[in-house]
A and B are shown apart, each in its own frame.
Chain A
């Protein structure tokens, strides 16, 4: 796969990361390109494409960036996202790169804690090693936040973690994602952006009884998605999905949240557009569209009537 070429990363991203490094005194003096600075710039791009910031920042209460504390409520109690800033005590500054990769690839933290799938490592497991390392390099350049992660407030806190090995057995396919040699580079890039980084399936797919994504109905929508929001069918089904949307329609949705009827998406998707898809390069948005349009059209299951 040829996806890690520098031209995919907009010059502005690279420039701002270089500036960041210069400020923190890491950048090598002189005009030669700094390999670390380049990795950090790539890492920032991956960070945005993967939408890490939204979940790990408590925007609603003016929380510091990556300091965690955002509440994710469910009928089983409230999850609070942890601090993933580089603070060595309260964040993940003390983690080795290997430990970081293990958390995203396998959902296990350095002390052996089984991470819960409310953290979408089920998608991030599909990322490739270099991208994980670049993401890690970027996270290291962020401001440390000295704030203790708040424990979850769950009804059966231990049971959840104890059941994880079973859940993992049933539901986790460890990555990285395989390239499909029969498809174009653009399609493969789109698959990677949608399946691994964008974790689009996490919201847009129905789930089986075990909570795993229903692999036979991926992207056909979830009437009971996050926040009770209905995440629509994004397969090219003409009746219940995006079958009638042109390529230009899909590009505008990813760039602006604008639907062909003039409405603008809200809720969780507005955040994805704001933090992720609108920040991608046009080439990457095109790749996403190519992948989405190649999916098998599936009918959405009808929403439950209230």
Chain B
């Protein structure tokens, strides 16, 4: 917590009041809504070059999801993409989603290793993580089917489901690094 006042042990008199004020000053800042607090840099000592490579490989793969979603966003904004483009993007999403497993997320690649934004909860709550990956797979399958009808209205609801499936996993398991 750079710049945050630190609490010292039992400071006397006026200093104590100041420390408390300072503590209050920070009250609304360093709070976390996480189910359990993270130990920042937990894994950093153990970061082998191999693990750093695993992180960057994973991120390259995940950027394919971003690229596909970008096309879908252009469809929603009527910026040139059509229903067929949405269908092709959904195929990419399903393919990547089906591979969100231990191969892509080996243990020892949490925040602290390379540029990783993967929270350690992924490995503590592996079943929930996998459930989120499966729900993206299911939503993208629905989108593929809807896009196959060629109907621009039919894809809207499944697109919502895909977007919310991305957010539901990022909410719990990703913390973007500044």
Interface on A for B, CB 8 Å cutoff? 54-55, 60-61, 70-76, 79, 116-118, 155-156, 159-160, 163-164, 166-167, 202, 207-211, 222-230, 246, 248-249, 252, 255-258, 260-268, 270-271, 273-274, 278, 303-304
The 4 closest A-B pairs by CB, nearest first: A266-B170, A262-B70, A60-B35, A270-B171
Q: Do residues B27 and A227 form an inter-chain contact, with CB atoms below 8 A?
A: no
A299 to chain B, nearest CB (A): 15
Complex formed: what's the CA distance from A252 to B35 in Å? 28
Q: Do residues A117 and B28 form an inter-chain contact, with CB atoms below 8 A?
A: yes
Nearest chain-B residue to A213 (Cβ)? B28
Contact of A267 among B7, B24, B164, B174 (CB under 8 A): B174
A73 to chain B, nearest CB (A): 5
Q: Interface of chain A, helix or strand or loop or mixed?
A: mixed
Q: Do residues B70 and A261 form an inter-chain contact, with CB atoms below 8 A?
A: yes
Query: What residues of chain A lie closer than 8 Å to B164, measured between beta carbons?
Result: 256-257, 274, 278
Q: Do residues A226 and B32 form an inter-chain contact, with CB atoms below 8 A?
A: yes
Once A229-B176, A258-B163, A263-B69 are accepted as A-B contacts, the answer to whether A117 and B27 lie under 8 Å apart by CB is yes
Q: Report if B152 contacts A (CB, 8 A).
A: no
Once A224-B1, A267-B174, A270-B168 are accepted as A-B contacts, the answer to whether A256 and B163 lie under 8 Å apart by CB is yes
Q: Report if B154 contacts A (CB, 8 A).
A: no
Complex formed: what's the CA distance from A197 to B100 in Å? 37
Q: Report if B166 contacts A (CB, 8 A).
A: yes
Complex formed: what's the CA distance from A227 to B175 in Å? 9
Interface on B for A, CB 8 Å cutoff? 1-4, 7, 20-38, 40, 65-73, 76-77, 159-160, 163-164, 166-171, 173-178
Once A262-B68, A303-B178 are accepted as A-B contacts, the answer to whether A211 and B28 lie under 8 Å apart by CB is yes
Nearest chain-A residue to B6 (Cβ)? A75
Nearest chain-B residue to A256 (Cβ)? B163
Q: Do residues A159 and B23 form an inter-chain contact, with CB atoms below 8 A?
A: yes
Query: What residues of chain B lie closer than 8 Å to A229, measured between beta carbons?
Result: 175-176
Q: Do residues B23 and A160 form an inter-chain contact, with CB atoms below 8 A?
A: yes
Query: What residues of chain B lie closer than 8 Å to A226, measured between beta carbons?
Result: 31-33
Q: Do residues A262 and B33 form an inter-chain contact, with CB atoms below 8 A?
A: no
A-B contact pairs, 12 of them (CB 8 A): A60-B35, A79-B31, A155-B7, A209-B25, A211-B26, A224-B2, A228-B32, A256-B159, A261-B70, A266-B169, A271-B171, A304-B3
B76 to chain A, nearest CB (A): 6
B108 to chain A, nearest CB (A): 20
Q: Do residues B29 and A224 form an inter-chain contact, with CB atoms below 8 A?
A: yes
Q: Do residues B176 and A267 form an inter-chain contact, with CB atoms below 8 A?
A: yes
Q: Do residues B31 and A211 form an inter-chain contact, with CB atoms below 8 A?
A: no
Contact of A74 among B32, B38, B167, B175 (CB under 8 A): B32
Q: Do residues B7 and A70 form an inter-chain contact, with CB atoms below 8 A?
A: no
A-B contact sample (11 more), CB < 8 A, given A73-B34, A74-B29:
A70-B33, A71-B36, A75-B7, A118-B28, A163-B20, A207-B28, A211-B26, A228-B175, A264-B166, A264-B167, A270-B170
A145 to chain B, nearest CB (A): 19
Complex formed: what's the CA distance from A271 to B159 in Å? 18
Contact of B27 among A74, A264, A268, A273 (CB under 8 A): A74
Q: Do residues B178 and A264 form an inter-chain contact, with CB atoms below 8 A?
A: no
Complex formed: what's the CA distance from A159 to B45 in Å? 38
Complex formed: what's the CA distance from A268 to B160 in Å? 19
Q: Do residues A227 and B31 form an inter-chain contact, with CB atoms below 8 A?
A: yes
B89 to chain A, nearest CB (A): 9
Q: Do residues A267 and B77 form an inter-chain contact, with CB atoms below 8 A?
A: no
Complex formed: what's the CA distance from A208 to B40 in Å? 25
B72 to chain A, nearest CB (A): 8
Complex formed: what's the CA distance from A32 to B26 in Å? 52
Complex formed: what's the CA distance from A218 to B22 in Å? 21
Contact of A263 among B38, B66, B177 (CB under 8 A): B66
Query: What residues of chain B lie closer than 8 Å to A164, measured between beta carbons?
Result: 24
Contact of B31 among A118, A223, A249 (CB under 8 A): A118
B171 to chain A, nearest CB (A): 3
B140 to chain A, nearest CB (A): 13
Query: What residues of chain B lie closer than 8 Å to A74, measured between beta carbons?
Result: 26-27, 29-32
Query: What residues of chain B lie closer than 8 Å to A224, measured between beta carbons?
Result: 1-4, 29-30
B65 to chain A, nearest CB (A): 8
Complex formed: what's the CA distance from A117 to B27 in Å? 7
